[in-house]
Amino acid sequence: MIYEGIRYNTIYIPNVDSAFKIYYSHWRETLIPWWTYPLTFQIFELNLLLEGTQDVRLGDRFYEMNAGDLLLITPGVQRQVVGTRGAPITYFSLHFDIEDYMLRTILTYHGNGLHRRDSALERDSRAPLEQLVHFLQYNRDQDMRHPAIRLKLISHLFALFAVLGGIEESRIKPGTDRAGTLIAYRMAEEIEQDVRGGSITVRTEQSTKGTIARMAEKLGYSPSYCSRVFRSVFGMSPQAYISNRILHQCRLELANTEQSLDQIAEKLGFQDGLHFSKQFKRWTGSSPSAYRRRPMEAPLEDQPQQPIHLAMDSSIHI
C-alpha cells in the first residue's frame, strides 16, 4: 500500500469479541470410596483420568475410564461417577463455557463421550492438558487471582482451546448434518450482529419466536427445524443463545465506566436502570455496580478432598 509517497506492508489482527468462563475446575486425588450423584450442567466438561480406573455413566451409556482416557461432555448431558473399583483415583476436571459459536460447534464435532488414550483428540490435547495440570500443581499455594498468575493460566487455556478448535475435516464425527450446521452458523452470526447492532435487545428478546421465524424464513426452512439444528450444534436453544449474547453485551457496556446504568439500560432495551440492575443480578447473582467494582473473581471455598481450584471469567474485546 502506498500513502503520501510512503510504501508499507500491514498485517492486521482480526477484531475479536468473545469470552470464556471456567467454573470449579480442579485437579484432585480422591479417597475411597469415591462416587458422585448424577449431575447435569449447561456447560462443557473435559475430564482427564490421571491415575486409577473409574466407571462413569454419561446419559444412558456406561464407560470404563483408565489412566490417560479423556471424557468430553457437552452441555445438558447427565454425568455420574458410579465407582472407582475400590481404589483412589487422580483426575483433572475442566468445566468451561465458550461464547464463540464456531468453537462451540467444533467441540460438538469431537463427539460427546469417551476418548481413549492415544485417540486423535487425546493425543492432540495431551500436551496442553499436561502443561495446565503442571501449572496448577506448581502454583497450588499461590493466589490464583493474582493478575500475573491469571494471565499465565489464560495462556494455557488458550493453548488448549486452540488444539480443540483445530479439528480436521476428516475427523468430524460420522452422521454430522453439514447443511444443518451451516444453518446454525448463519443463525448464530445473525444473532451476534443484531445484538451488537442493537436490533435485538431485551425488548425484542421477549418475542424471540418471531426472531427465529424471521431467520428461518430468510434461510428457507421451518422454525422448528432451525431451532432443532441450532440446539444440536450449540448445545442450547436459539432463545438461550440470544439471552447469552445480550448478557455478554451487558458486560461489555459495563466495562465503559463513563456510561451510567440508565444509559446502558436504554441502549440495551431495558425499561430503566433499576430494571437493568434487577435483570443483571438475576442472570449473574451480582449487581451491575458490584460487577464493575470487582477487581477479579472471588476465590472458591475449599471443597472436600483438597482439590486444586482454578476459577476464571475472562473476556476479550479488541
Q: In what order do the strands lie in the sheet with 17-29?
A: 113-115, 70-73, 44-51, 90-98, 17-29, 308-317
Q: How distant, in Å, are the alpha carbons of 42, 94, 212, 225 from that of 241? A: 12, 22, 11, 16
Q: How far apart are the first and last CA of the chain?
A: 24
Q: Pick 208 or 289 by higher pLDDT.
A: 289
The pLDDT confidence band at residue 202, using thresholds 50, 70 and 90, is: confident
pTM: 0.65
The pLDDT confidence band at residue 66, using thresholds 50, 70 and 90, is: very high
CA atoms within 13 A on the CB side of 236: 20
Give the tens place of pLDDT for each residue, 211-264. Answer: 888 888 888 889 999 998 888 877 788 888 888 888 888 888 888 888 899 999
Q: 243-271 burial string, b = 16+ CB within 10 Å, else e?
A: bbbbbbbbbebbeeeeeebeebbbebbbe
Count of CB atoms situated within 10 Å of the CB of 140: 13
CA 171 to chain centre: 22
Provide the 3-class DSSP secondary structure of residue 308.
strand
The pLDDT confidence band at residue 5, using thresholds 50, 70 and 90, is: low
The pLDDT confidence band at residue 307, using thresholds 50, 70 and 90, is: very low
Give the tens place of pLDDT for each residue, 265-294. Answer: 988 888 888 999 998 888 888 889 888 876
Averaged confidence pLDDT in the chain: 81
CB 48 within 8 A of CB 83: no
Q: What is the pLDDT of residue 17?
A: 67
Domains of the chain: 17-169+296-317 (2.60.120.280), 178-285 (1.10.10.60)
